Amino acid sequence: MITQIWAWLTAPEQWSGSRGIPTRLVEHLGYSALSLVLAAAVALPLGLWVGHTGRGRWLVTGANAARAVPSLGLLFAVAMFVGPRISSNLAFVIPSVVVLVLLAIPPLLSGAEAGVRAVDPAARDAAYGMGMRGPEVLRGVELPCALPLLLSGVRAATLQVIATATIAAAVSLGGLGRYLIDGLAVRDYPQMAGGAILVAALALTVDGLLALVTRYAVSPGLSGKHRGGRAVADPKGQVLAPGPVRSEMPSKSRLEVS
Amino acid sequence: MTWVWEHLGDIGGYAASHALLAGIPLVVGLALALPLGWLARRLPRVAPLIVGGSGLLYTIPSLALFILMPLVLGSKILDAINVYVAMTIYTVALLVRSVVDALGSVPESTALAATAMGYRRLGRALAVELPLAVPVLASGLRVAAVSNVSIVSVASLIGYPQLGYYLTDGYQRSFPLEIGVGIVGCVLLALVFDLAIRGAEWALTPWARAGSSGGSGRAPKEVAAT
């Protein structure tokens, strides 16, 4: 079985043409990136605003509650209602992108909001005390401090989008999911498994890259990595890092965002 | 709506198998995540390996994991064991982190007091730290339950019968009501899991409501009830 999958993965016809792996990979990444950018344009400013002002928390609660809706159901429902209303050949793309955007919003929103909410009140007060105004505090203090949680929201959203874009092959979207769904239709297990390996590899790679981005984007003052060796010897950062922000980080990031 | 009444029996059956496919892995996953998380707390050196490694598993998209399971287990593509194992993997991936956080939420002074009272390592973990970790653990479990219910429905693309069947079948027949039944069924099931975990948490944490809610001079509720 493994040899058959390997044969499928390495066959030259798999690596060229409009049904080849490179094309499917670019499609998959393209739909995912487009959806994430659209969702982030809505959800990140909104989440920062909710966290900054403390108003509109119900938006975050509501978005989180909406996650109980199964993504497969949302996909089929939107495809059925929106698809027939679009006459061009975008009829297969638009419903899927709509669903991907909808699914990416809750983790982005709650990541940004929780990030700002978890900012040490002392840091915020100090910023106001130094004469900074609301928008300046948000940009200069709250946003950098919120970055770890915000970026873990981005990671969760990205994984959700890549996974759902795979399923969206069932409503005729292109991308790597095609191999899984098409292979299923004709009971071609090597094709399904080969596609599944590609999808898993894509998800792991993208998540790894985002982990690296998080590492470099987050201020060393927050991640407890300044002063070199000492911080590494103390991975929990309990001695060096500003208390509340740091101690809430690990638990919140998984519980609320993933 | 008559369609719903006519198919009420089927819907119940699919809901039951959906509950099993999501629920059994939740229990098994918790049983596996507890020792793993405890180990990660005890051995800080391997902690990143345990937490990070289990986190990586959650990264794999569900449809891909379902399809790859037969390769790992040597099972047939339509065996239900694929879904059970895949869901258990996701549950462990989510819960290991929760267990680590939950055990970390136990106040240091309480753990030290337990040691001073003569608790050994394992006894302290089971009798003192685990009960105190329940609130954080329960919130992690609720996230995992909702996620499980949603992911199980994806298995209908491969052909495992559960509530997700109404989603795929409704789409193929262009029958909105059927999709609605599938979505509402999944949401209700997620709600049931959520309430059950909240109930269990309430029952397991009598200390959380003994002092604060009763008001002064009134006996705690569970004492008054007996």
| C-alpha count within 13 angstroms, C-beta hemisphere, residue B39 | 11
Q: Which letter, b or e, does each residue of B124-144 get, where b requires 16 or more Cβ atoms within 10 Å of its Cβ?
A: bbeebbbebbbebbbbbbbbb
- Chain A residue with the nearest C-alpha to that of B139: A255
Q: What is the C-alpha to C-alpha distance for residues A101 and A108, in angstroms, rounded to an integer?
A: 11
Locate the domains of chain A by residue range: 2-257
Q: Do B67 and A196 touch (CB under 8 A)?
A: yes
Average pLDDT rounded to a whole number, residues A172-185: 91
* Test the A interface: residue of B14, B62, B179 with most A CBs within 10 Å: B179
Interchain CB distance below 8 Å, A196 and B176: no
Query: Residue A132: helix, strand or coil by DSSP?
Result: coil
Q: Which helix (H) or strand (E) holds A219?
A: none
The predicted-structure confidence for A142-160, as pLDDT tens digits, reads as follows 999 999 999 999 999 999 9
Instruction: Assess whether pLDDT exceeds 60 at residue A233.
Output: no
Mean per-residue pLDDT for A124-140?
Answer: 90
ipTM > 0.85 for the complex: no
Residues 6+ positions from A70 with CB-CB distance below 8 Å: B149, B150, B153, B154, B164, B167, B182, B183, B186, B187
Q: Are A21 and A29 within 8 A, CB to CB? A: no
B58, B65, B187: residue with CB nearest A69: B187
Banded model confidence at residue A245, pLDDT cuts 50, 70, 90: very low
Going by the DSSP 8-state scheme, the letter that residue B125 receives in this structure is I
pLDDT tens column, A77-127:
998 888 777 777 777 788 899 999 999 999 999 999 999 998 888 998 999
**How many residue contacts between A and B have a Cβ separation below 8 Å?**
145
Q: What is the CATH number of domain A2-257?
A: 1.10.3720.10
Delineate the domains of chain B, giving CATH numbers in brackets.
2-106+132-205 (1.10.3720.10)
Q: Least CA distance to B105: which residue of chain A?
A: A251
Q: Do B97 and A250 touch (CB under 8 A)?
A: yes
Q: For residues B167 and B181, is the Cβ–Cβ distance under 8 A?
A: no
CA B78 to chain A, closest CA, distance in angstroms equals 11
**How many CB atoms neighbour CB B223 within 10 A?**
11
Interchain pair A81, B190: CB under 8 A: no
- pLDDT at residue B121, rounded to an integer: 85
pTM of the model: 0.83
Query: Is B153 close to A70, i.e. CB distance below 8 A?
Result: yes
Both tokens of residue A12?
């030259």
Inter-chain touch A195–B140, beta carbons under 8 Å: no
CA angle A67, A72, A76 (to 5 degrees): 120
CB contact under 8 A, A68 and B190: yes
pLDDT tens sequence across B40-62: 988 888 888 888 888 888 899 99
List % helix, strand, coil for chain A (3-state, nearest 5).
80, 0, 20
Interface of B with A in 155-174 (CB under 8 A): 156-158, 164, 167-168, 170-171, 174
Question: Mean pLDDT across chain B, nearest whole number?
Answer: 88
